Amino acid sequence: MVKEDLLYTETHEWIKIDGKVATVGITDYAQKELGDIVYVELPEVDNELSAGDVLATVEAVKAVEEIYMPIDGIVVEVNEQLDDASDLMNSNPYDDGWIAKFEIASEDELEGLLDANEYKKLIGE
């Protein structure tokens, strides 16, 4: 499932824009590929990250995957619920399974992200 109102990356993160703040998570396709997610290493609030930096590390039973910062920004909030319930990323990847919110450094960078149609094409849906 791909949600229409979100932006996407080629590395399977989704981004929701709300003014100056972006929320990021992994797509339904990504959670299915990973399987049962059993642990998430979250970033620290106030961390200033550049596009491509490791934002979080997600561990499934048999795999470890890094989640990348889609654009430059400063982390303002992390989803601490995932500490005890990382399976929310499997059951609800676009809502309760969000990973972090960050303040967007430059809105120009958003143009480099994929829209829903482009992402669907990428995953062959």
Partner 1 sequence: MVKRTPFYNIHKKLKAKIIPFAGFEMPIQYPYGIVHEHRKVRESVGMFDLSHMGEFIVRGPNALDFLQKTTVNDVSELDVGQVQYSNMCYADGGIVDDLLVYRDEDYYYLVVNASNIDKDYDWLHSNLIEGVTLDDVSDETALIGVQGSQSEAVVQKLMNDNLSELKYYHFIHTEIDGTPVMLSRTGYTGEDGFEIYFTALDYAEEIWEKVAEAGQEFAIEPIGLGARDTLRLEMKYPLYGNDIDKDTNPLEAGLRWVVKFDKGDFIGKEALEKVKAEKIQRKLVPFVMDGKGIPRPHYKIFNDGQEIGEVRSGTMSPSLGIGIGTGYVHRNFMKSGTQIEIEIRDKMYPATIIKPPFYKEGTVKSN
Whichever of 91 and 106 has its CB closer to partner 1, that residue is 91
If 0-12 CB within 10 Å is exposed, 13-18 middle and 19+ buried, where does residue 102 land?
buried
Q: Is 35 in the site for partner 1 (CB under 8 A)?
A: yes
Return all residues near 80 (Cβ < 8 A) that are at least 6 apart: 42
Q: Closest approach of Cβ 40 to partner 1, in Å?
A: 10
Taking CB under 8 A as the criterion, which residues in 40-69 touch partner 1?
Answer: 41, 57, 59-62, 64
Q: Where are the alpha helices (DSSP H) in 11-122?
A: 28-34, 88-91, 116-122
- Residue of 17, 21, 38, 116 interacting with partner 1 (CB under 8 A): 38
103 binds partner 1 (CB under 8 A): no
User: Strand 73-78's sheet: what is its strand order?
Assistant: 7-8, 13-18, 21-26, 100-104, 73-78, 48-49
Minimal distance in Å, beta carbon 39 to partner 1? 6
Q: Which residues bind partner 1 (CB under 8 A)?
A: 35-36, 38-39, 41, 57, 59-62, 64
